[in-house]
Structure 1
Amino acid sequence: MTQLSTTPAYTRWLQEIKEKIKRTQVRAALAASRELILFYWDLGKSISGKLQGNIWGNKVIDQLSKDLSSEFPGVQGFSRTNLYYTRKFYDYFSTFSDAKVIVPRKEGQLENETVPQTGAQKIPPVIHLICGHLPWSHIKIILDKLKDHQETLFYIHETIENGWSRDVLALQIKSNLYSRQGKAITNFKTTLPEPQSDLARQTIKDPYSFDFLAFTKPYNERDIENQLITHITKFLLELGKGFAFVGRQYHLEVGDSDYYLDLLFYHIKLKCYVVVELKNTKFIPEYAGKLNFYLSAVDSLLKSETDQPTIGILLCRDKNSIETEFALRDINKPMGVSEFTLTENLPENLKGSLPTIEEIEADFERLEEKGQ
């Protein structure tokens, strides 16, 4: 370490970094997300270049951390771990294709106006997308959890659009939202106009993950419904942005008969009512017919002239894709069918009769001792 710290080339490089930090008035600038991300990008690029050139070896990060922490004792972010993150940040995002990145224009910016650059250095569009929108803690989660560029862009856009916290972003990645979004079987293409049909399709997932619920058999749709309402915040998070809860077992009177919708929502972005029906069984075609009836009733009794057509979401425990597509083919109301998953606990009277992990391991050990 001492030898590296006295190397003239390293000393010059260290001085350049110190001057950059001082020029940006680090204590104030690093408190702003945009300046912090741009600084980490530049620092990561510099570190990556030194490591790729194999000038001083990996120990250069340890030495740099020590020197920067000593020079700027009141500034966080110069730990060995964080310097490795800056290098990983640059290496990962520098490989993104500019064509796949859409950077939203700021208010007042003209359509053909270019995004300003920092100094003479060109900043990739993906970094402009991140700057000012994603805190460093969010970026570190992405660097730890994601590899695919398109998936990464999906979570960046969703985080910006929905204002996800760090914990919510981690939860959505863990639940594999990217693979579930827009995957439900629907008839939106034939029952809704563009672009309403595309927006509606992207709104519905398959499957829905209700792993915040836990049940002991037997349980029915009403039990699931009750717990979803009890955990309404988590339920709305899983449904996605835009869903406003209207009511459960919502009463409609059609003719002389009473009908009750399992769950009724209004979607702010789609500007329509959304009827959610729960079935704790495999999908059967008859479910689509009943939901079609409910949608007609809501359109007639609740929908205003400014509302878009009511959408139905049928949540089942299982479905056959071909059978589901046939069932929706001639339905004239927009609806989608998705599966849902939840946590099932063993009944108390069965727990004691099943072997524990320790007992199973002991059985394997006895088998090995016998040579079986």
Structure 2
Amino acid sequence: MSDNHPDSLYQRIRDILNVAQIGVSRTVNTAHVVSYWLIGREIVEQEQKGQQRAEYGESLLKDLSRRLTKDVGKGFSLSNLKYIRQFYLGFPDLLTATSISHAVRDQSLSSDQFTTLSQSQPNWQPGQLHPNLSWTHYRTLLRVENLNARAFYEIEVLKNNWSARELERQISSLLFERLAKSTDKAGLMQLATEGQIIQTPSDVFKDPVVIEFLGLPESPRLVESDLETALISNLQTFLLELGKGFAFVSRQERISLEGDHFYIDLVFYHTILKCYVLIDLKVGKLNHGDLGQLQLYVNYYDLERCAPDDNPTLGLILCSDKNDAVVKYTLGPNQQPKIFASRYQLHLPTEAELQAELHREMAQLQDRQPPNSEI
């Protein structure tokens, strides 16, 4: 019986599944991923040997789905086999050429050979097998067509130990595009090869901040207290949106100055930058008075609350709208590195919205440049 025959393909896939079941107690997730990748390879290579018409591949997958579901059980629907096929095509370098050479098609895989295949490479790179990435992670990553963005999400999953659901949310909120929208080519490549690196305060804050998880409607009747309560009720997801390093400290923290009382909406500590982060919520358009109030809070914290080894306090205003020129001229050059303003969005952004935001920022930057200067 030739290798091109569907029965040969079916038997090779059954061999892969049988061996995967033997090693499942040791490497459950990784064995799952490896077996699917190997199955995807078998399907793709069988299609390349067979007829070139699209209907050949469809009938091949239908037959495999029927037989595998009958003999093995759930998990091999036609749609899932299409994902498995796409997985191999989307991650062609998941296993190294050296490890693949152990999988000889003319022989059944041994348990030891399968275990070897299931081991991640010592010098891991995005696109290669990693034991902390499950099949659900990989299925989610397949949604990302931009290879730089996909590499970024792979790195961030491992750095932050995101669940597949958290990864799904970060992709849907266009995290990569938000971080990359105003960076240069070198910064873009750094995101794709190293993930998000936090070295300065400007590396911490996103604009816009997406808080669709609150389920709040876009309404002129929304007030700061409702927004704050919703954020606290969804604190874990809000921390995910803020990014790595944020630790919650308090809400509505009171400052008393000679009988006058002020309240800071939210206080965090950033464990990487080693500083407090004060967040003030503003429903409506930001004005210079809001910035002055936050500057008061930041100055107070620097003088009264910070320990000797803390870095200067940072402030962030979350607002529904802002004028960047007002922010610039209210704060001046000395306070700008410490106080930031970001728009919040109550819905997931689209790429078109982010592009419009980038064009708006570039236009404002050009308007502020001297006539003969280059951006």
Q: State the TM-score, normalized to the length of structure 1.
A: 0.70
The 1:331–1:199 alpha-carbon spacing in structure 2 relative to 1, beyond 3 Å, is closer
Structure 1: 5+ residue stretches without partners = 97-113, 186-194, 344-372
Higher deviation after alignment, 61-70 or 332-341:
61-70
Residue equivalent to 1:334: 338
Residue equivalent to 1:321: 324
Residue equivalent to 2:134: 135
Once the two structures are superposed, the pairs formed by residues 205-216 of structure 1 within 5 Å of their partners are 205-211=206-212, 212-214=214-216
1:161 aligns to 2:165 (yes or no): no
Q: Distance in 1 between matches of 2:197 and 2:99?
A: 36
CA apart distance, 1:205: 1.5
The 1:167–1:22 alpha-carbon spacing in structure 2 relative to 1, beyond 3 Å, is closer
SS in 2 for 1:276: strand
Higher deviation after alignment, 36-45 or 218-227:
218-227
Aligned length: 310
Aligned partners of 1:184 and 1:337 also within 8 Å: no
Larger radius of gyration: 1
CA apart distance, 1:286: 4.0
1:18 aligns to 2:19 (yes or no): no
Q: Distance in 2 between matches of 1:290 and 1:282?
A: 15
Residue equivalent to 1:63: 63
Residue equivalent to 2:126: 126
Residue equivalent to 1:236: 239
CA apart distance, 1:280: 1.6
Aligned partners of 1:275 and 1:311 also within 8 Å: yes
**1:287-308: CA deviations, max 9, x gaps?**
3333223212112211112222
Residue equivalent to 2:46: 50
Residue equivalent to 2:265: 262
**1:294-323: CA deviations, max 9, x gaps?**
212112211112222211111111123344
Report the aligned-residue RMSD.
Answer: 3.6
Structure 2: 5+ residue stretches without partners = 104-116, 184-195, 348-375
Aligned partners of 1:244 and 1:266 also within 8 Å: yes
1:84 aligns to 2:82 (yes or no): yes
| Percent of aligned pairs with the same amino acid | 30
Q: Distance in 2 between matches of 1:202 and 1:171?
A: 20
Q: Distance in 2 between matches of 1:184 and 1:293?
A: 29
Once the two structures are superposed, the pairs formed by residues 283-294 of structure 1 within 5 Å of their partners are 283-294=286-297
Residue equivalent to 2:36: 40
CA apart distance, 1:25: 4.4
CA apart distance, 1:247: 1.5
**1:59-84: CA deviations, max 9, x gaps?**
2222233344455x36x533332221
Aligned partners of 1:47 and 1:87 also within 8 Å: yes
1:200 aligns to 2:201 (yes or no): yes
CA apart distance, 1:12: 3.1
Amino acid across the alignment from 2:34:
L
CA apart distance, 1:36: 1.9
